[in-house]
Structure 1
Amino acid sequence: MSEAMGALSGGLAAVAARPGWLWAAAAAAALGALLGAWRWGGGRRRRRRRLGRLERAGTVSGLFVYPVKSCRGVAVPRAEVTPMGLRSGELRDRFWLVTKEDGHMVTARQEPRLVLVSIGCENGCLTLNAPEMEKLCVPVHVSRKNPVLNCRVFGIDIQGRDCGDEVAKWITTFLNTEPYRLVHFEPSMVPRKSKDVINLFRATDEVAYPDCSPLLILTEASVEDLNTRMEKKIKMENFRPNILVTGCGAYAEDSWEDILIGDVEMKGTVACARCILTTVNPDTGVLDRKEPLETLKSYRLCDPSERHIYKSSPLFGKYFAVDKTGTIQVGDPVYKIVE
């Protein structure tokens, strides 16, 4: 700022002898430059104060979008981070949902073979593929003539546009248990409040069909440590993270509060309490109901003071909300923001 003040003084002295109109124009220009320098410098300082000190915590090793809840994830090299989760092109995280005909959600907890359905995107269509099934293409933007259904996700009402009879028949045929529908969450619809599921979220944190949070982060070291305790090795896919991080210790994510990846700022909210969905084999679609839950319960239960939040569920990975949107990619450093 002192340099800017010196430049302003020198500039004003140099033009003082000029005609009045010229002097006024030059003075205005110099003043504008000073104000610009002040705003730029002050903005930088405010930014640094808000972010605090950055401490390297790891590196992004994987990014995963799960367009249809409980179906296979899509690994992507880069993704847009929106307030409601990851987005890669037309694919948005858990913006599609399998439901019963009465609108109640269906996940791999009830239909484990959903994890065998692979999802993709081609020419504006969501693609579904599964063993012994023909690939099916469903328009991402379905006809406005299709009805909007009232759905229930963990006891909370939310809407979804029905994706049509063809995909409903495809899913019903593959699962072969009862009739099912596929619905899509549209931007004009009202999202669910994360706070309505877990009170520790903020009133501004919102989701479509995820359990409760826009983002789930897990470290490779946590999976590796769990596998040292397992008779049969478990895969990262059992835990369905959005962001996988390497280059840090096991369970480092537990302590991350505010983090920066690329130009995206994220806020740690709560640990992820694990359920029987983690016991579905991602390669076979078979529900085990035991592992890795039993092993996790032997060493990853919450502190007794937090039992009202997590009950008897073991904790593995951490949920994050989005403070500043942007784009992230595999290979990006992960920084802790230290006040």
Structure 2
Amino acid sequence: MDQNPDTALRSGPVIDATGLFLLISTITVFLLPLFIYFPPIPPSQRDALLETHSPIGVKHNKSKKKTTTTTTSSSKTAINQLWIYPIKSCKGIQLTSSKVLPYGLEFDRLYTFAQLKSPFPLSTNPSEKNQQKESWEFITQRQFPLLATVTVELFSPDPVKARGKPLYSDANIKDSFLLISFPWQESGLGGVLSWVAAKLARGRKAVPEKQLVLPVNFPSQGEIEARGYEREEVRIWKDVVSALNMEKDLPRELALYLGVSNRLGLFRVDPGRLREVHRCAPGKEEAGYQPVTGFQDAYPLHLVNLASVRDFGAKITKDNKLEQELDARRFRANIIVDGPEESNSPYDEETWKRVAFETEETWKRVAFETEEGKKATASFHVSCRTVRCKMPNVNQDSGFRHPVEPDRSLRKLRDVDEGARLKGCLGMQLTPLFDGGKLESWVEVGMKVGVEERGEHRYINQ
């Protein structure tokens, strides 16, 4: 007897809803580990750098908010933290040690962002006369607080990695590089895919971002010509310096993210055209060389005492927009010192005129060797107080700018310098001093503070 066609169809293999669910579940369970350990996303610029380089610095723990209460185990005031800011006003890099050069800590403030200021509306066709009035002016978190969320990493060549063949790195393995990252998500499907890729690559809290790689070394003349960089003048406060504009490397999204409506430039300090430092700094006769600086505000280094930050922070009226224990990172210091109360009273640093950071035992390191049987020291002229602006109002994790604090309290409670009336002061500006003919020294976390000279300070305006 012939079989009914309908019966034949029903008797064939049938996958019901339960079977389909089991099939999908099986495939998902099998593929999920592969997606986790081998996410199907292209390598980032950071991945490429990691093939031949290693990041330099201490990984900062954002969850550890009590940065102002960290103390040393020593019975003396000592260096508690070291920070460099390779790109002015962007996130800093915390170090355990650093070379000290005439312009400050090595790699500090190599770059700055600047905007082109013009006397005429951008929508008009400017005359040649007005074009000559255009000028580049540096920008900071004072105007664009989201700079605080632009991450900067320093990558140094790794000899061990360099022995192997990099998979997808075309970086020169002998050079150091900066990696700049900032949050950015495109609209539409591309943005959704970038959001998924970020989660797969860096965890559930990760967000999409754009990246940019910059050289640490000043470009050669051949590289300048090949890339189309231009030497232009940029204003840093009242100083006008000639520097290398590398804006051609900037992604367009950065200006949009920061909220910069003018033309955005990226300037690399020219090591042969540093700014001379005068005012409160020691002269050439006293220092043994002419003090200079790069894109720092005024002096080569900035020091903050955690005891002073704690004391001042305790006097501020807090709200839910300001952390209960004021974060010392708001003050953007290179050297942060701390110690027990008996050796480190608040604002004691304002009486220092000359200090030396010294190890308790003899040492010998590859990067900076000392003679056997001799302690390593780094000496500094304590040039003046640091006159504060509104930049400490910016939260260094979120980029949120508090409308009034701590600026209001600084002006009220820290109006302490006869040369800077009605302005708040916190921290001290330093100028390096060197022994012998070699213009370099070394600082390291844990080095003890030796106050060699004390005296009065009076700020001199620029």
Question: 1:216 and 1:166 mapped to 2: Cα distance?
Answer: 30
Q: Could you tell me which residue of structure 1 aligns to residue 350 of structure 2?
A: 254
Sequence identity (%): 22
**Does residue 192 of structure 2 align to residue 78 of structure 1?**
no
Please, which of 100, 108, 111 is the counterpart of residue 93 of structure 1?
Answer: 108
> For 1:96-111, what aligned pairs fall within 5 Å after superposition?
96-101=111-116, 102-111=135-144
How far off is 1:172 after superposition? Answer: 1.6
**Does residue 385 of structure 2 align to residue 302 of structure 1?**
no
How far off is 1:165 after superposition? Answer: 1.7
Contact 2:387/2:424 (CA < 8 Å) preserved in 1?
Answer: yes
Question: 2:453 and 2:90 mapped to 1: Cα distance?
Answer: 37
AA at the equivalent of 1:108: Q
Point out the more displaced range, 259-268 or 230-239: 230-239
Question: 2:421 and 2:86 mapped to 1: Cα distance?
Answer: 29
**Does residue 266 of structure 2 align to residue 182 of structure 1?**
yes
Q: Could you tell me which residue of structure 2 aligns to residue 202 of structure 1?
A: 282
Greater share of residues in helix: 1
Q: Could you tell me which residue of structure 1 aligns to residue 446 of structure 2?
A: 331
Contact 1:120/1:128 (CA < 8 Å) preserved in 2?
Answer: yes
Contact 1:85/1:214 (CA < 8 Å) preserved in 2?
Answer: yes
Question: 1:278 and 1:322 mapped to 2: Cα distance?
Answer: 25
Contact 1:63/1:243 (CA < 8 Å) preserved in 2?
Answer: yes
How far off is 1:170 after superposition? Answer: 4.6
Paired residue secondary structure (1:135): strand
Question: 1:57 and 1:313 mapped to 2: Cα distance?
Answer: 31
Q: Could you tell me which residue of structure 2 aligns to residue 315 of structure 1?
A: 425
How far off is 1:338 after superposition? Answer: 4.5
How far off is 1:115 after superposition? Answer: 1.0
TM-score, normalization by structure 1: 0.76
Point out the more displaced range, 63-72 or 164-173: 164-173
Question: 1:312 and 1:168 mapped to 2: Cα distance?
Answer: 41
RMSD over aligned CA atoms reads 1.9
The C-alpha deviation readout for 1:243-276, integer Å capped at 9, x for no partner, is: 0001112112111111111321100111001111
Please, which of 361, 373, 381 is the counterpart of residue 267 of structure 1?
Answer: 381
AA at the equivalent of 1:114: L
Please, which of 327, 351, 367 is the counterpart of residue 235 of structure 1?
Answer: 327
How far off is 1:282 after superposition? Answer: 1.4
**Does residue 309 of structure 2 align to residue 223 of structure 1?**
yes
How far off is 1:222 after superposition? Answer: 1.0
Q: Could you tell me which residue of structure 1 aligns to residue 337 of structure 2?
A: 245
Question: 1:338 and 1:312 mapped to 2: Cα distance?
Answer: 28
Question: 1:236 and 1:69 mapped to 2: Cα distance?
Answer: 17
Paired residue secondary structure (1:67): coil
How far off is 1:194 after superposition? Answer: 2.5
Paired residue secondary structure (2:224): coil
Unaligned runs of 5+ in 1: 1-55
Question: 1:205 and 1:291 mapped to 2: Cα distance?
Answer: 34
Question: 2:230 and 2:214 mapped to 1: Cα distance?
Answer: 16
> For 1:133-144, what aligned pairs fall within 5 Å after superposition?
133-141=209-217, 142=219, 143-144=223-224
How far off is 1:173 after superposition? Answer: 3.4
Q: Could you tell me which residue of structure 2 aligns to residue 63 of structure 1?
A: 82
Question: 1:138 and 1:191 mapped to 2: Cα distance?
Answer: 20
**Does residue 294 of structure 2 align to residue 211 of structure 1?**
no
AA at the equivalent of 1:261: F
AA at the equivalent of 1:129: S
Question: 2:145 and 2:183 mapped to 1: Cα distance?
Answer: 14
TM-score, normalization by structure 2: 0.56
Q: How many residues align?
A: 272
Point out the more displaced range, 329-338 or 137-146: 137-146
How far off is 1:164 after superposition? Answer: 4.0
How far off is 1:158 after superposition? Answer: 0.7
Give the structure with higher Rg (CA).
2
- Moved segments of 4+, more than 4 Å: none
Paired residue secondary structure (2:433): strand
How far off is 1:337 after superposition? Answer: 1.1
Please, which of 234, 239, 258 is the counterpart of residue 156 of structure 1?
Answer: 239
The C-alpha deviation readout for 1:167-186, integer Å capped at 9, x for no partner, is: 25353232133231111112
Greater share of residues in strand: 1
